[in-house]
Amino acid sequence: MVLQSFLRASGVAALLALTAGCVSIGAFNRFTPHDPGARQLAHALAYGEGARRTLDVYAPAAGAEGAPVLVFIYGGGWRSGVKEDYSFVGDAFAAHGFVTVIPDYRLAPETQFPGFVEDAAEAIAWVEANIAAYGGDPRRIVLAGHSAGAYNAMMAALDVRYAAAAGFDPSALRGVIGLAGPYGFYFNNPVIGAAFGDAPDPANMHAISFARADAPPLLLLTGDADRRVPVRASEEMARAAQEAGGQAELIIYPGLDHPGILQALAPARRNRAPVFADALAFAERVTR
């Protein structure tokens, strides 16, 4: 039914574009099949002041009580993105037993670093304080993110100053899943400059700087065909975590590019690589 509607609305060329991964994430979200067995419990709940500081909550359709929680932070180069375009991610993890939260956050040019990381931390604080009312366990939270969102998640989890400022307990974070994240980067990219400003301080801006032995376990996922965020970003994050005495697992998927690793969370793309299966198994293991 979804496929027929898409063909009537957009024609064969649009279908080919969707199949090739050449459309926006919003179009992908609208037309790709979602996991059954999930429902959205809440839309645009405020976790802070301003239009961009709201979040959506998804849960198993049968209900949840004391369920593990997954907070997903989307990417977009710190310049674009809306949580509604990622409901396929909310449905995926909710259908498999997780109360799932997807926040919006401030973007450039409205804010620069550390504003978007502060927003991630405040969203986590909201989850810890409020998620029990939606069937989630505030002591069993997994963070996940893609691209710039993976950076935000990693920084909020590793640099304990964000937890202290937002007021959440770092021990509530049981694990972090990073999909193709830039955890240590060069500042000669205009996208980076717009988000991080003209006076970068790598020691405070690179997630790899905050690797530590008592950090939550990390799962770092990336594709060897990614031309936007190179594989070495995940390799360096894994190495930094391990050298600091922490736990980090790295998985590199052959032939998977930057949008492809995100799209592989959706049912129709899971035959490309076991991204969702690996992420789900990790989330279940660390929250067990």
Q: Is the pLDDT of residue 13 over 80?
A: no
Mean pLDDT of the chain: 92
Rounded Cα–Cα distance for residues 172 and 185 (Å): 28
Per-residue pLDDT tens digits for 244-255 = 999 999 999 999
pLDDT at 22: 52
| Percent of the chain clearing pLDDT 70 (strictly above) | 92
Query: Per-residue pLDDT tens for 170-205?
Result: 999 999 999 999 999 876 778 888 899 877 788 899
Give me the pLDDT at residue 202, please: 86
Pairing of strands 173-179, 248-253: unpaired
Give the span between the Cα atoms of 109 and 252, in whole angstroms. Answer: 33
Among 233, 106, 256, smallest CA distance to 178 is for 233
Tell me the average pLDDT across 47-66.
96
3 has pLDDT over 50: no
Class of domain 37-287 as given by CATH: alpha beta
- Residues in Cβ contact with 264 at an 8 Å cutoff, skipping those fewer than 6 apart: 253, 256, 270, 272, 273, 275, 276
The full set of domain ranges for the chain reads: 1-31, 37-287
Catalytic position from the list 5, 10, 80, 147:
147
Give the C-alpha separation, 73 to 153, whole Å: 7
| More confident position, 217 or 8 | 217
Query: 189 or 99, which is more confident?
Result: 99
45: which DSSP letter?
Answer: E
pLDDT on residue 186: 75
Which tokens belong to 37? 């067995």
More confident call, 109 vs 202 = 109
- Please determine, for residue 75, whether its predicted confidence score (pLDDT) is greater than 60: yes
Section 269-279 average pLDDT: 98
Q: How far apart are CA 62 and CA 194, in angstroms?
A: 44
Active site residue 147: yes
Please tell me the least confidently modeled range out of 152-166, 195-209, 264-278: 195-209
| pLDDT for 1 | 37
272 has a pLDDT exceeding 70: yes
Separation CA 19–CA 4 (nearest Å):
14
Higher-confidence position of 3 and 85: 85
